[in-house]
Chains A and B, each alone.
Chain A
């Protein structure tokens, strides 16, 4: 039996506005097995990114429990969640989130350097090679195209060997052809590293490449296939 790496139990998220309480997520429960690829889809404003943030431990639910591996991240404080994230989680963002003052190589090696890995540069070079940017290691983000920037972001995410990779609209800022290449690369690296992939997208084709699709609408899980 495959081991569950991520579990959410009756998770809700409410936000208090000036005059009333807004429910962004309502009683969401799900189980994700280790090594799976899962797409969270739904219309804009459905609560996809909020759910991703909660599952990654970047935010806390108003109600409900979440486990990452064997850690109940809802039972710990921000420092505890940070420690869990450091051990297990990687990210890819729609806006790439590369640091403008760092070269491609430094962007990739930074999270490894922060966690004290001594072979950070070596690994970063290796992963930049894997994403086809071996010749661009010294380039700064502003010298790279959007597709190249997202490739750097992929190299950064996979170089840390995370157990779970959260990707928020990874192709959302790219044209169709580039988006296609990036998603190919994403799934290829995912297969090589045996990472659990959880991605939020509104692109049907990208979602269909995942083993599981969770559809959200109006804060509720409406289907899981």
Chain B
């Protein structure tokens, strides 16, 4: 590296020639760094948090004791293990009893997260423990203390066991929200389980083998498990166990985060595309400014090789410095994003992995190689004769080649960034489409406005004539403007879609509790109690558990049973005349009149898994009693609707003789902001329910809903910040695009003013020019955004595509305003600098 190269670079920078190139590069790297650092840390944090919801990194669960092979594989891979067994059982304390949710845990439990305990009922001194109760001890939840009317140190009976209550459970990591967790929690040691004699043949016990370890070992276990599952399917063995991963444990939360992440990354990609475009345009201007310098240097005897080396050195310095600054600014801005997301995660966020830094660094260099270098590539080949004949043509790198290099750089960046070839190709496809549309439509528009201008006032005529006369540059600008506007419209459209969909997913009246196990004769009294407590419910559904045993008279084989989770276990059935909310009939029809025989409707995925269709007759078994029913329809079910959902729905009457229990979802019952630990966030009706109807079960959904709402709000704010960064990138493109014709405008306007044109005419002509450019770009951007949004809605967000007339309007209005204002700002010198100085400046 020669000192003169650094000097030259410094002088170019001082002369303002590098401002746009460097700003664009810094901004691109900054956006990439901020977004990927944020996404990386939140994702790692979220995984940790979800792991703590699971009390482990992975778990194998089943209704029978976990087979030894699953444990030995875990040990072989060096994973830590712990065991839990959960079941419902009556617990007694004197005259009082409660149908509790008992969890027997091994000493190593929990592997992730901690149990929050207190030995004081007012939760005065909470403590965190990362191991389960010792033999002879029981830890119980606040509401069990209330229901059994006991104190710390008292004894309770669990089966044949008598245990001392030593602690109050304030919080446990894997409390979960499933039906099994309905009763008050009693945690005991797994060592005591045999002595309780509660485990007998036929007991409904949920066993879990918890595992934790490093990522590699966890992934290895998951791979092994999948292979094992494939083998099981082939050998038609009954599948007893399921693998629980953080992702499927908190599916909804993970799904929401996944969409948020997809949006962040797409926005980041858009930022990079815009910055890349700005850099390509700015580099072209930089190159034209360097032309004279290079011609002179060659005339003075510098060889092409020396000039090429100097060029590489300078570009390397630009890339390295800008990337470092961009990374620093990105690192700072990711804290802004984290500040917004603060409280979203209860865990201390882990430091970022090295990936975001590597991605950011490579982005910087790829941007320079892909966008700046092609524009400068021809410089060393400039003929020295140019010092005498300035009209000599430049041997610019062919447009096609430059485009190909730029596209390749974009593809590398977007692919690396989004990790999805489809998304990358979709975006680049849209860009190509936009370039094509620009080339074809813009020319027609320009012809149109040129004709229009011939009979307008003087500055309108001048402005429109300028557009046509410089149509080459106008086209370049239109491509820049349209692309920027289109991408901004896409971001706006996506954000609106995303938020609308999230809000629709969780309306204000989203249920807050499930009430189930309500006996037939209690339904009316429970309804009255709820009415008195002023809480609303969704529909009430009768529910019985049963299984499918034969299809069209043929007993279901083991092979077929292994294919579907819905076949291999007991599932909940219901009966109703009304199609449940957020269910849609896919095949067949919902009952308009009572059917002649027994009929039912089945969830479409299960129907597909077991290979049945409308008209098939299935034999069911409920409590050992068997009956046949005909499949009348298949339905899609929104499992995330937080209302009772069923695989199998019968026409009313079919289940009457099986003494169904009833289930409903309670809407938005206000929770009492109680002290942590003591009757945690309990709605007022819950205590009365538990006392008056001890067999009924109430599950709180409040926590889950609150968490999701929080995620939505915070992610939305994060998106707005990202949008701001993208907007900045867009403004840079506008500046760079206007810069393409800057010198020519400066010269022309200096001549016009020398010839006596008033400032008013020049400003008017410029305003007409920019406003027309903006309006044309707005129309093209609206069309492009509409097309891209159609595919994004359909493929990325799984939404029903909609038209966006407001986006078209926004495109045209904002395009006209934004480009006129930015254009006039950028043209300030053209208007204000004395003409002689302008001419002198241009030589």
Which residues of A are at the interface with B, using a C-beta cutoff of 8 A? 49, 52-53, 56, 58-59, 78-79, 82-87, 89, 91, 93, 95-102, 106, 111, 113-115, 141-142, 146, 160, 168
Question: Is there contact, CB below 8 Å, between A97 and B303?
Answer: no
Show 26 residue pairs from A and B whose CB-CB distance is below 8 angstroms, ordered by the A residue.
Answer: A49-B389, A52-B388, A56-B299, A58-B383, A58-B385, A59-B383, A82-B302, A82-B303, A83-B303, A85-B299, A85-B301, A85-B384, A86-B301, A86-B302, A89-B301, A91-B300, A93-B388, A97-B387, A99-B293, A101-B14, A111-B296, A114-B297, A114-B300, A141-B840, A142-B841, A146-B840
Interface string of B292-331 (1 = CB under 8 A from A): 1100111111111100000000000000000000000000
B384 pairs with A82, CB closer than 8 A: yes
Instruction: Given A101-B15, A114-B4, decide whether A96 and B843 contact each other with a Cβ distance below 8 A.
Output: yes
In the assembled complex, how far is the CB of residue B750 from the closest CB belonging to chain A, in whole angstroms? 13
Say if the beta carbon of B191 comes within 8 Å of chain A: no
How far apart are A196's CB and chain B's nearest CB, in angstroms?
17
- Cβ of B837 < 8 Å from any Cβ of A? yes
**Are B843 and A113 in contact, CB atoms less than 8 angstroms apart?**
no
- A142 adjacent to B302 (CB under 8 Å): no
Q: Is B7 an interface residue (CB 8 A)?
A: yes
Q: Which residues of A contact B298 (CB under 8 A)?
A: 82
Q: Of B7, B17, B302, B843, which is within 8 A of A95 by CB?
A: B843
Residues on B with beta carbons closer than 8 Å to the beta carbon of A111: 296, 300
> CB distance A59 to B840 under 8 Å?
no
Q: Smallest Cβ distance from A87 to chain B, in angstroms?
A: 7
Residue among B14, B15, B383, B388 having the largest count of chain A Cβ atoms under 10 Å: B388
Chain B hits for A95, CB < 8 A: 390, 843
Contacts of B843 in A (CB 8 A): 95-98, 100
Known contacts A82-B301, A84-B301, A86-B302; is-contact A97 B292 (Cβ 8 Å): yes
| Residues of B4-19 whose CB lies within 8 A of A | 4, 7, 11-12, 14-17
Contacts of A79 on B, CB cut-off 8 Å? Answer: 303-305
Pairs A-B, 7 closest by C-beta atoms: A86-B301, A101-B15, A85-B301, A58-B385, A111-B300, A58-B384, A59-B385
Q: Chain B: how many interface residues by the 8 Å CB criterion?
A: 32
Minimum C-beta distance from A173 to chain B (A)? 10
Return B443 CB to nearest CB of chain A, in Å.
26
> How distant is A8 from chain B, measured CB to nearest CB, in Å?
17
Cβ A53 vs Cβ B388 within 8 A: yes
Chain B residues near A106 (CB, 8 Å)?
Answer: 11
Inside 8 A of A142's CB, which chain B residues have their CB? 837, 840-841
Q: How far is the CB of A171 from chain B (nearest CB, A)?
A: 16
Complex CA gap A56/B389 in Å reads 14
Query: Contacting A168 at CB < 8 Å: which of B4, B12, B388, B841?
Result: B388
B301 CB contact (under 8 Å) in A49, A83, A98, A99 = A83
Residues of B bordering A, CB below 8 Å:
4, 7, 11-12, 14-17, 289, 292-293, 296-305, 383-385, 387-390, 837, 840-841, 843
A49 touches B388 (CB 8 A): yes
A93: chain B residues at CB < 8 Å are 387-388
Cβ-defined contact, B292 with A99, below 8 A? yes
Contact partner of A85 (CB less than 8 A), chosen from B7, B300, B388, B389, is B300
A101–B841 touching, CB < 8 Å = no
A101 touches B12 (CB 8 A): yes
Q: How far is the CA of A56 from the CA of B12 in the complex (A)?
A: 28
Q: Collect the chain A residues with CB atoms within 8 Å of residue B299's CB.
A: 56, 58, 85, 89, 91
Which residues of the other chain, A, contact B12 by a CB distance below 8 angstroms?
Answer: 101
Tell whether, in the assembled complex, residue B387 and residue A58 are in contact, meaning their CB atoms are under 8 Å apart.
yes
* Docked-complex contact A113 and B387, CB < 8 angstroms: no
Contacts of B16 in A (CB 8 A): 101
Chain B: CB-nearest residue to A169: B388
- Select A87's contact among B7, B301, B837, B841, beta carbons within 8 Å: B301
CB distance from A88 to the nearest CB of B (A): 9
CA distance A53 to B296 in the complex (A): 13
Q: Please, how many angstroms separate the alpha-carbon atoms of A86 and B16 in the complex? A: 29
Which residue of chain A is the closest to B842 with respect to CB atoms? A100
- Residues A101 and B17 in contact, CB atoms below 8 Å apart: yes
Contact partners of A114 in chain B: CB under 8 A = 4, 297, 300, 302
Nearest chain A CB to B3 CB, angstrom units: 8
Q: Given the complex, which residues of A lie within 8 Å of B837, measured CB to CB?
A: 142
B302 near A53 with CB under 8 A, answer: no
Closest to A79 in B: B303
Q: How far is the CB of A41 from chain B (nearest CB, A)?
A: 17
Say how far B393's CB is from chain A's closest CB, in angstroms: 13
**Cβ–Cβ contact B11 & A102, under 8 A:** yes
A121 nearest CB across to chain B (Å): 11
B282 to chain A, nearest CB (A): 15
Closest Cβ–Cβ distance, residue A83 to chain B (whole Å)? 6
For A98, the chain B residues whose CB sits under 8 A away are 843
B4 closest partner in A (C-beta):
A113
User: CA–CA, A86 to B297, complex, Å?
Assistant: 10
- Given A85-B300, A111-B300, A114-B4, also A100-B388 (CB < 8 A): no
B388 and A58 form a contact (CB under 8 A): yes
Report chain B residues within 8 Å CB of A115. 300-301
Give 10 new A-B contacts, CB below 8 A, not counting A58-B299, A114-B302.
Answer: A49-B389, A53-B389, A58-B388, A79-B303, A87-B301, A97-B296, A99-B296, A101-B15, A113-B4, A141-B840
Nearest-neighbour CB distance to chain B for A178, whole angstroms, equals: 14
Among the listed A101, A141, A160, which residue makes an inter-chain contact with B11, where contact means beta carbons less than 8 Å apart? A101
Give CA–CA (A91, B303) in the complex, Å.
17
B389 touches A113 (CB 8 A): no
User: Chain B: which residue is nearest A113 at the CB level?
Assistant: B4
Q: How far is the CA of A95 from the CA of B842 in the complex (A)?
A: 11
| Chain B, residue nearest A59 (CB) | B385
Residues of A within 8 A of B840 (CB): 141-142, 146
Whose C-beta in chain A lies nearest to the C-beta of B298? A82
Indicate the member of A53, A84, A98, A160 with the most B CB atoms within 10 Å: A53
